[in-house]
Amino acid sequence: MVSDKELAELIFPEVKETIADLEARYPLRNLPSGAEVTRFAPSPTGFLHTGSLFTSMVCHKVANDSNGVFYVRLEDTDTKREIEGSGLQLLQQLKLFNIVPNEGYLGDHQVGQYGPYIQSERADIYKVVIKHLLEEGKAYPCFCSQEELDDIRAKQEKAKIIPGYYGPFAKYRYLNNDERKERILKGDPYVIRFKSSGNHIHKIKVSDLVHGNFEIAENDMDIVIFKSDGLPTYHFAHVCDDHFMRTTTVIRGEEWIASLPIHLELFKALGWQAPKYAHLPVIMKIGENGNKRKLSKRLDNEAAVSYFLKDGYPSEALIMYLMTIANSNFEEWIFEHKFEHMEEFKFSFDKMSLEGALFDMGKLNFFSREILSKKTKEEMLEMTLKYSKEYDEKLYNLVSSDPEYFKKIINIEREKENPRKDYEKLGGLYDLISFFYKDLYEEYVKINGLVYNEKFSLEQVKEVLSALKELDISKDEQTWFSQMKSIGESLGFSSDRKAYKANPEAYKGMIGDVAEILRITLTTKKNSPNLYYVMQVLGLEECHRRINQVLSK
């Protein structure tokens, strides 16, 4: 009878290396104790998902905090789902969030001693390991056709038992090696399956850095480890790669917990120590029916990282926000640290909540305002040019036509102790600042007119504006404001809320109304950056021009 070794040789005659050779080629890493080796292992199947950014952020953080290594491995064995160019794009997007691997697949090249880091380039390595499993009788060629598989499934469904290729249903597990050899020589197509020795009525104890210790049914599926296209499946490739790349902690999404028994059985069959595992919670949102659900690529804009990039959120804001999901103590920490130096925060798996965190746009917006308010005018200019060049041509043309003027605009109440948080993101900035530009102001007024509080007639508006022409902007803000107050008072507006409330008929309105009339005249808006500084930026002449235009109506 054909031995397991002979069968393995028949299947992989070209494979001469052994596992020992691979162990020698990929030696244990020489790292200080406690250093973690983590990896982000995306499949090149599309855009960077917010959940994947979350995972890669944690991988990066854990490696950095421990002076370890963070690497990227491209998991491209599912060639049917591959989207050309998406691997490179994923790496470029990670870089925008300052997630730069120390090693691995970097988009357009690979760096490191443990490569190749693209799975489709590792077929030789997988074959060595699979040949070894065949030699040990722990794997076998399976000739099951699609019809046979369908048939097995139909029977299982009818009998209401667990579907899959296992135990008595794993029919090709029971061929002998002579029969296997005969079919191979005949040219029958086959895949290679792992021969499980588990039984799902048994439970195994597993430990997870996020979920703690728990029990889960043992694997008993004879899973495919090597496909007919010459590439392995995810389960097998991950085990081989994390072993030979010397990963210490596998950090991945919670959806992989269900396959953990398969992975642990593979590690055991190969006599390798499994890495630690941390399965991260999924990011959720409140769905249309009011229930929590996973962020969906199909339904939710915020599922794609590109959405935040297009909208001009500063990348630190999203990372900071995601860190609040990752560690429950982070939010308090970052407040104490005034939204700065988040790299000094010590991440810990113990502080990760088990329930999927809800994506909270409001909180992201809050972080974003904080971060944008702390940028200098130079940084704002640079960010705005970079952003608008890619996503907003109108804004790009506007800002690049006069960068110095843009800096004046954006510097209103910036670069000071408590900067104003006027801007949330760069998307929409055009509409917020266009009134500073004479032509755009004119265009707006022509189309929309200026809309004042309807309790004032045009005559009243004019009366206020004509008096406000006296305003002096050459002194400080305080003086300017006192002047506005006394102008208002002389026209019958109150600067005392209590007095006004007690007797509203006695006044035309409050000083706030006076300021609003001026604000709408100069900015077209009810809300704007600090009006005193807006006037400084526009210059007195332009302010008077805008006022006179209303007066001449």
Among the listed residues 96, 46, 105, the one whose alpha carbon sits nearest the alpha carbon of residue 74: 105
Token pair, residue 134, equals: 């065949």
The binder of ligand GLU chosen from 42, 198, 275, 314 (CB under 6 A): 42
Least Å distance between CB 389 and ligand GLU?
A: 31
DSSP structure class, residue 374: T
23 within 8 A of 137, measured Cβ to Cβ: no
Span 248-267, contacts to ligand GLU by CB under 6 A: 252, 256
CB nearer to ligand GLU: pick between 59 and 515: 59
Span 322-341, contacts to ligand GLU by CB under 6 A: none
The binder of ligand GLU chosen from 75, 103, 135, 218 (CB under 6 A): 75
138 within 8 A of 279, measured Cβ to Cβ: no
CB nearer to ligand GLU: pick between 73 and 425: 73
d(CA 214, CA 25) in angstroms, rounded, equals 35
Q: Does 141 bind ligand GLU (CB under 6 A)?
A: no
Least Å distance between CB 261 and ligand GLU?
A: 15
Size of site (CB under 6 A) for ligand GLU:
7
Q: Does 49 bind ligand GLU (CB under 6 A)?
A: no
The binder of ligand GLU chosen from 7, 8, 11, 41 (CB under 6 A): 41
Least Å distance between CB 21 and ligand GLU?
A: 25
Q: Does 90 bind ligand GLU (CB under 6 A)?
A: no
b vs e for 514-530, b when ≥16 Cβ sit within 10 Å of the residue's Cβ? Answer: bbbbbbbbbbbeeebbe
CB nearer to ligand GLU: pick between 41 and 223: 41
DSSP codes joined into one string, 101-162: -SEEE-SS-EESTT---BGGG-HHHHHHHHHHHHHTTSEEEE---HHHHHHHHHHHHHTT--
Q: 72: which strand partners?
A: 40, 104
CB nearer to ligand GLU: pick between 39 and 193: 39
d(CA 274, CA 222) in angstroms, rounded, equals 20
Among the listed residues 33, 28, 13, 48, the one whose alpha carbon sits nearest the alpha carbon of residue 302: 48
Least Å distance between CB 255 and ligand GLU?
A: 8
Phi and psi at residue 216, in whole multiples of 5°?
-150, 150
CB nearer to ligand GLU: pick between 45 and 306: 45
Q: Does 43 bind ligand GLU (CB under 6 A)?
A: yes
d(CA 87, CA 106) in angstroms, rounded, equals 9
d(CA 525, CA 445) in angstroms, rounded, equals 11
Q: Does 238 bind ligand GLU (CB under 6 A)?
A: yes
Q: Binding segment for ligand GLU among 41-49, 180-188, 191-199, 360-368 (CB under 6 A)?
A: 41-49
Q: Does 77 bind ligand GLU (CB under 6 A)?
A: no
Least Å distance between CB 241 and ligand GLU?
A: 9
Q: Binding segment for ligand GLU among 37-45, 458-466, 472-480, 526-534 (CB under 6 A)?
A: 37-45
Rule CB under 6 A: which residues touch ligand GLU?
Answer: 41-43, 75, 238, 252, 256
